[in-house]
Amino acid sequence: MDVNGKVAVVTGSSAGVGRATAELLASIGAKVVVNYAHSAADAEETVEAIQAAGGTAHAFQADVRDDASCRALIASAVDTYGGLHILVNNAGMTHFIPHAELDRLTDEVWNDTFSVNVQGTFNCTRAAVPHMRAAGEGAVVNVASIAGIRGVGSSIPYAASKAAIINMTKSLARVLGPEIRVNCIAPGFIDTRWLRGGMGERYDQAKATASEHTPLKAVATPETCADAILSFIQHNVFVTGQTVVVDGGSSL
pLDDT tens-place string over residues 98-137:
999 999 999 999 999 999 999 999 999 999 999 999 999 9
Nearest residue to 147 (alpha-carbon basis) of 83, 191, 190: 190
Query: In sequence order, which residues have a C-beta less than 8 Å from that of residue 242 and are 6 or more positions away?
Result: 169, 183, 184
The catalytic position among 36, 81, 158, 203 is: 158
Half-sphere exposure of 83 (CA within 13 A, CB side): 13
Q: What DSSP element (H or E) covers 194?
A: helix 193-199
Predicted pLDDT at 240:
98
Assess whether 36 carries a catalytic annotation: no
Domain at 7-246, CATH class: alpha beta
Question: Which residues, in sequence order, are bridge partners of residue 31?
Answer: 7, 56
Contact 225, 22 (CB under 8 A): no
Query: In sequence order, which residues have a C-beta less than 8 Å from that of residue 201 and are 6 or more positions away?
Result: none
What is the reported pTM? 0.95
- The strand pair at 243-246 and 56-61 is best described as unpaired
pLDDT tens-place string over residues 211-234:
888 999 888 899 999 999 999 999
User: Where do the domains of the chain lie?
Assistant: 7-246
